[in-house]
Structure 1
């Protein structure tokens, strides 16, 4: 394998108890570990457990084990078994998710001779605190990577401590093996957001102010850069997202057009309603669907907030009784993925010039332009949700595209 100067520097200096690489996405942090992990494991003397930790067991498999298997073969890098262990170079390793303390509690009390950590900033803090006391063998080592988060994050505080840490920080430009065009696209997609500081510059940056600043500036100046002006829409699908408002909020519908090849999205229509009865909500929903179908002659999926099953069932029945009876079977629960993952997807699409809206989606446009990061807890990245902004429409919009998250990113070579 060929290694960058930054990677070679790590190999020469990673002889501390804690060896941590932080920084930009696609900067080569994790790729180096496909070589480091086997070397560490082969040096273990059986004095304690060998443990691999990721955000979840699934992300650990996808980010670490699967690429290692492709390099070293399935004979040397096995599959995670039902007992959460995997054979790597002939040695038994425990592979666990670290997002919940319960996932790792079964290892409590055991010494760790070697531990590898993936996506550390996504872990539950209690897992990391337990880990610190478990690296108790004379030759115990920890190797780990993460993208930076908020400067107040608990892991950043550990990195700034006087523990025995070898620490490296990577920028996107530290990886000389990436195609220049890909790097430029990535920089453009994250420009103007907190993700540029974190995923491009590798900085620990606070999420603050307007979330979609570039979009908000465009709306305020009326430059119409995000307004779809094409004569035809190459639609691959039309999805409708539905969010049910709680106390003091409204219900929201957003229809989104998915462009061919997942090349982008167009917000086709949006509406906020505050009906006084379930029957009034059902009528408003059917009317919205009818208008979308009349304009685009298709409705492929309807994703609804799963918290309100009674309301969802009522809307399905209303569709069945309408001229859109075919759409009743296309109603399902929204995936409701992590909010920050949804925000990242919208940011990438906007930055890449793959996000547009039509005038009929005015409420969605206004919601995006006004959405803010919360300042309530400086240690967390949270979207402001105090009733002062239109979170209902944002949720509905995100429900309409979140299931295609990976497809949208793959369309431009992201991981």
Structure 2
């Protein structure tokens, strides 16, 4: 039956069958393992004759929910209910209305769950089913609220999908472990868990699979997580490619593209850092053009003067060599220091917008830079980027963190690492997608 609907492997088909009799269903595993397609198909099948009208579709934000569940590269809910669905609003929130085979209309509320107060968006309702994508990126309070809001469902079903993290991540230790224990004690508990990887995805040809695998270092944590779908902890140095083969990432210069400067304002015992990068409009890679760092002076008046001098020297160097800077991204919390940067731009008659850094999740930053390194899609202009190269080479895993995180105890230059992220993180998703790494 299922293999007539999609090229499913036996593991995926069995998971979907178990979903129909399980209340909690978790699809865990590597990228391109078909988790969203598999979970989405199981969700839609259950929805066809579900007795409840209102259901929930969620992700770390509503955009993630739409991309991973509603659209899902053309294989999501809108595809399954093609000709039977429409988009609209429910109580002023985004929703999908679908006509199911039982002759009833069902409503799917689309929300984000990544913030501490996200749970407020789903209070006051009872949901028949809930599908949360990237569940381990959502706030724990939100996941608990989802459980509570489905308690009185006439056929309770919750679906999660997620990519692997460190075994110490809270989702495994504080959330999933409880349900695993309950299932061990009672085989009828209703917990359905399966690990998927790229080898389970029958829609990927052998040729394409071979090409994808060739981009990974088989000994790396990213191969074990992304390809094999295993829970593996990051240990010691975070960016080993640039430690082991620095020369491979060096280029004499760069031309063209979007030029963006990241600014990190250091605190006590740290430094102000500036990193400028170039992103081609084809989004095929990144070139870091220049990195500078200046130690902070305690005196507030001298501190501002020092910041302005260092910033001025950095941007003038970049403009003289590359002709322009399109954007400046800085820590949004430091309004006084941002005003100092604006004074420098006004003095130089430069009309460059200063934007707030978007604060990509810490683990996502580490992943993006590592993927770009593996693909050989990040370069550094020789002699002008020694500061950021040293920062990346010294970055180590925080042993007390339950997720990937740079140790920030003064033993390495986290300021320049942050500035580098500010300069390029606005384009992480499109870069990884263009290079088939999402």
Tell me if TM exceeds 0.5: yes
Instruction: Choose 29-38 or 92-101, whichever is displaced more.
Output: 92-101
The answer to whether 1:162 aligns with 2:185 is: no
Q: Determine the C-alpha separation between the residues in 1 that align with 2:32 and 2:25.
A: 19
Q: State the partner residue of 2:250.
A: 227
SS of equivalent to 2:403 = coil
Counterparts in 2 of 1:107 and 1:243: CA distance versus 1, 3 Å: closer
Q: What aligned pairs does 1:230-379 form with structure 2 within 5 A after superposition? A: 233-259=254-280, 261-274=282-295, 276=297, 277=302, 278-322=304-348, 325-326=349-350, 328-357=351-380, 358-377=382-401, 379=402
Task: Decide whether the 8 Å contact of 2:255 with 2:322 is kept in 1.
Answer: no
Give yes or no for contact 1:148–1:204 (8 Å, CA) kept in 2.
yes
1:37 matches 2:43: yes
2:261–2:275 CA contact under 8 A, matched in 1? yes
Deviation at 1:399, TM superposition (A): 0.9
CA drift at 1:215: 1.7
Residues 393 and 110 of structure 1: is their aligned pair in 2 closer, same or farther, counting only changes over 3 Å? same
Q: Deviations over 1:97-125 (max 9, x none)?
A: 22246333465576543222211111222
CA contact (8 A) 1:135 1:141 kept: no
Name the structure 2 match of 1:153: 169
The verdict on how the C-alpha distance between 1:86 and 1:287 changes in structure 2, with shifts beyond 3 A counting, is same
Secondary structure of 2:282's counterpart equals helix
| Structure 1 position 61, deviation (Å) | 1.8
Q: Does 1:381 align with 2:408?
A: no
CA distance in 2, matches of 1:410, 1:218: 25
Q: Does the C-alpha gap of structure 1 residues 158 and 55 become closer, same or farther in structure 2, counting only changes over 3 Å? A: farther
Report deviation, 1:49. Answer: 4.8
**Structure 1: how far apart are the matches of 2:138 and 2:289?**
38
CA contact (8 A) 2:273 2:416 kept: yes
Which residue number corresponds to residue 17 of structure 2?
12
Superposed CA deviations along residues 217-248 of structure 1, whole A, max 9, x for unmatched, are 224xxxx111125xx63421222211110111
Structure 2, unmatched stretches of 5+, are 100-104, 184-189
- With over 3 angstroms needed to count, the CA separation of the structure-2 counterparts of 1:105 and 1:190, relative to structure 1, is farther
Is the alpha carbon distance of 1:373 and 1:75 closer, same or farther for their aligned partners in structure 2, counting shifts above 3 Å? same
The structural deviation recorded for 1:178 is 1.8
* Candidates 90, 113, 125, aligned match of 1:98: 113
* CA shift for structure 1 position 185: 4.9
Q: Is the 8 A contact 1:150 1:380 kept in 2?
A: yes
Instruction: Work out whether residues 94 and 109 of structure 2, in 8 Å CA contact, stay in contact via their aligned partners in 1.
Output: yes
The aligned residue for residue 2 of structure 1 is 6
Q: Report the Cα offset of residue 299 of structure 1.
A: 1.9
Alignment of 1:142 with 2:158, yes or no, is yes
Q: TM-score, normalised by structure 1?
A: 0.88
Match of 1:72? 81
Counterpart position of 1:202:
229
Change (3 A) 1:305 1:104: closer
The alignment partner of 1:317 has SS state of helix
Closer/same/farther in 2, CA of residues 281 and 101 from structure 1, 3 Å limit: closer
In structure 2, distance between residues paired with 1:287 and 1:104 = 46
Aligned residues: 404
Q: Classify 1:113/1:255 alpha carbon distance in 2 versus 1 (closer, same or farther; 3 Å).
A: closer
Which residue, 198, 201, 212 being the options, matches 2:239?
212
CA distance in 2, matches of 1:289, 1:106: 43
Helix, strand or coil: the match of 1:238?
strand
Q: Verify the 8 A CA contact 1:239 1:256 in the aligned structure 2.
A: yes
